Every structure is written in C-alpha cells, then in structure tokens.
Amino acid sequence: MSNVLIPGINYWPEPTGVAPYTTQVAEHLHDLGHRVTVITGMPHYPSWSVAPGYRHGPYQQVRNGVCILRQRHHVPTHQTALQRARYEVTFLAGALRRRIGARPAVVIGVSPSLSGAVLARRLASRFRSPYGVIVQDLMGRATEQSGIKGGRVVSRITREIERWSVEQARHVAAVSESFFPYLAELGVQSERLMHLPNWTHMVRSVADRAETRRRLGWNERTHVVLHAGNMGLKQGLEQVIEAARLAAGRTFQFVLMGDGSQRRLLEERARGLPNLSFLNLQSAEEYPDVLAAADVLLVSERPAVVDMSLPSKLTSYFDAHRPVLAAVPPHGATAREVHRSGGGLVVPAGDAAALLAALTRLSSDPVLSSRLAEAGRRYACRELTRDAALLRIGAFVQAVMQSRRLASRCPQA
C-alpha cells in the first residue's frame, strides 16, 4: 500500500468538467489499496460561485476512502487574465501551506488548473517523491485561444510555467494525442508521454424518452438541439444564438443546458428568441436522460480554439446514442475526435449558416442520424469504457512510482 497525493483544484461534488474524472481516479487508486489524499479547492464549477456549505474553510473530508483537503481560494465572477491569475495563485499559496501528513510515494498533478501541475512539482520536491502530470487542458494554449481578456499578454508566461511544471515529471499523460506536439515543444520527450483518454462516466439512460421530453416541455414535432455543459468564453455560444435567429419559423429548438461565466450575457443576447431556451444543469441521475431525449447533441467552440482542450462532454455524447454536431475549428482536437468516432458531423466554428444547414440535413435524413448515433455508441463501447481507462490510469501511476530512484536524484525545485 502506497501513499498517493493528487493536487488539483476541481473535485467532487462538481458535476462536470475535470472533477468527475479526478474523483474517479482517486477512488480507483484507493480501491487498488493505495492511501489517497487529494488537495483541492472549494466546489465552484461550472457556475463560478462557491457551492453552498463550502463558504468557509479550509475543510478536511473523507469520501469513499479518499482524504480530501479543501483549500479556500479566489473564485472570479468574470474571466480576465488578472482574475484567472488570482484564482491560481490563491489556491497554490494556500495548498502549499497545508499539512499533508505521511510522505507520498508519488504525486499526480492534474491540469487544469495550472496550479495543479505546479503543486505536483513543488510537493514532489518537498517530499523527494516522483511525480506525474495528467493534462486535461493546455493552459498556455488556453490563455491564447479562449478569448479571455488579456490572454495573449500572459500566454508566454503561462507557457513557461507549464514548461517548468512538466520539466521533471517522470511521465506526462494527455487526454488527447493532439496535445503531444505542444508538450514536445515544452521539452517532454516521447518516452515520457502517455495517452490517457477520458471515459464515459455517466450511467446510460434507461428512462422513457417520450416521458423525459414531456417533462422538459419538448414537443415531439420539434427537433431539439442540445448543448450541455459549461457556458464560457471558449465555447463561443454566440454562434448558436445566431443559428437560432436564422432558424426562425423552423421546427428547431435550441437548448443550452448548464452554467458558466457567460450564461447571463448569453441570456441577454437570446432575449426574444422563442426557439432558444436555457436549462439548468441536471443531476447526475437525470443528465443522461436529457441527452438521450434530444435529437442532436451540439459541441460549440470559438474559431481560435484549436488544440487547447478536448471537451469532456464528448464521452457522454457518444454514449447517449444521438448524433453529434460539432461547430468547431476543422483542424482542432474536437474535430479530430468526432471524425475518429464516426459519430457526428463537423462544420466550421463561427459559421451559423453552416450549422443550420447541417441541422437541416440531420433532421431530414433519419437514416444518417441513426447511423451516426450507432457509430458514436460503438466508439464509446470500444474506446471510452471506464474499466479500460482506469486500467491505463493504474499503469500510469505505477510507471511514475517505479521511477522514484531517478526522481530522487533530480535537483531541488
């Protein structure tokens, strides 16, 4: 039995994004017999407000055998480079002051946030332990591509911090192979890189589809186009509002489900559009039912978002047995994943007319829609199962642990 330390700002009970994956990784390692400690923040995503019951702190909890050390930090109400830096720094500073307890045999940092990777190196240096990093998003790319105010100014600084964070990592795992060229630019040799794709973490829906649509007020004659998850800058959901305007008088109903820093602004821009509605994020039990009740599942990205991230929603989309439509950069990580799955169509980001044309094609061709839905589910069953992913996680952690003698000879940070 070994002590495993996992720093990362997102964890249970956050329902979307990175948190469900980090939570299942930690609990899986506990099930394997490790003593697992997670250093994390206050639950705040995707609403970007601290969840009720966590307004004070720090806290220490135990859930499913995992010791959770929660650290207070700044949560920005709007996204700018300065606000994001404060978010990262306050979590990092507080987490470095926490008492960890027994020396970890291995440290596994999770990025984002950037502070998760920085903490991994700093804590590994303190305890003279090997460390690895799981990269869910590329923060250097994100500051440049996401549209955050002031992002281009700080992207070079962020990139250097990323470089420092992974410099002495024994292994670096990325959820998308499209991240590999950037990580190689940071100096991560190919023998240190591993591909750890995310998995379908939702339970498959068994609810009556017609009943779910009645509950949500979705007419059976309406073609429901659902975007689920975060409503932030990088999602570029303005193109969905424009598509709804172009579709006036048609049978399409656009639904934006979730929360995020841009939801209030999007609601203002969509005012007066009867064919666009907002839906709060559903519980983990109801979420799969809502996906399965839609006609098309939509992924939306800004035109500049090329290789900074791979939306975690795709794993649930493919398993929901619905066709996927991706309005994303045609050469980006998301487009490549949709093409690889065979489960959807891709149209250029920022082109609302192309988005609407693809929706028209899907609504008028049920054979195509069914074929895409079947391909997506086959891909999920073949490539995105939880058991296969967690086996890869176990192998990744073991590979990092086996390098401890080499890590102990690395210079102090």
Q: 329 and 282, same structural domain?
A: yes
What's the whole-number mean pLDDT along residues 9-27? 94
Q: 17 and 129, same structural domain?
A: yes
Q: 249 and 193, same structural domain?
A: no
- Report the mean per-residue pLDDT for the chain: 91
Q: 284 and 332, same structural domain?
A: yes
Q: Which CA distances in Å does 273 have to 210, 241, 255, 261?
A: 25, 8, 11, 21
Q: Looking at the domain assignment, is residue 103 inside a domain? A: yes
Q: How many domains does the chain have?
A: 2
**Which DSSP helix (H) or strand (E) runs through 347?**
strand 344-348
Q: Looking at the domain assignment, is residue 305 inside a domain? A: yes
CATH code of the domain covering residue 26: 3.40.50.2000
Q: 371 and 257, same structural domain?
A: yes
Instruction: For residue range 366-397, list pLDDT tens digits in order.
Output: 999 999 999 999 999 999 999 989 999 999 99
Among residues 15, 18, 12, which one has the least CA distance to residue 111?
A: 18
pLDDT category of residue 407 using cuts at 50, 70 and 90: very low
Reply yes or no on whether the pLDDT at 410 is more than 80. no
Reply yes or no on whether the pLDDT at 185 is more than 70. yes
Q: 240 and 377, same structural domain?
A: yes
What DSSP string describes 228-270? ES--SSTT-THHHHHHHHHTTTSSEEEEEES--TTHHHHHHHT
Q: 241 and 369, same structural domain?
A: yes
Contact in structure between 79 and 233 (CB atoms under 8 Å): yes
Reply yes or no on whether the pLDDT at 404 is more than 80. no
Q: Looking at the domain assignment, is residue 290 inside a domain? A: yes
pLDDT category of residue 200 using cuts at 50, 70 and 90: confident
Q: 360 and 258, same structural domain?
A: yes
Q: Looking at the domain assignment, is residue 413 inside a domain? A: no
Q: 153 and 53, same structural domain?
A: yes
Contact in structure between 323 and 343 (CB atoms under 8 Å): yes
Q: 345 and 404, same structural domain?
A: no
SS3 315: helix
What is the percent of the chain where pLDDT is above 90?
A: 75
One-letter amino acid of 111: S
Q: Looking at the domain assignment, is residue 334 inside a domain? A: yes
Q: Looking at the domain assignment, is residue 204 inside a domain? A: no
Instruction: For residue range 68-115, list pLDDT tens digits in order.
Output: 999 999 999 887 778 888 999 999 999 999 999 889 999 999 998 889
Q: 176 and 213, same structural domain?
A: no
Q: Looking at the domain assignment, is residue 257 inside a domain? A: yes
pTM summary value = 0.85
Q: 213 and 173, same structural domain?
A: no
Q: Looking at the domain assignment, is residue 355 inside a domain? A: yes
Domain that holds residue 234: 209-383
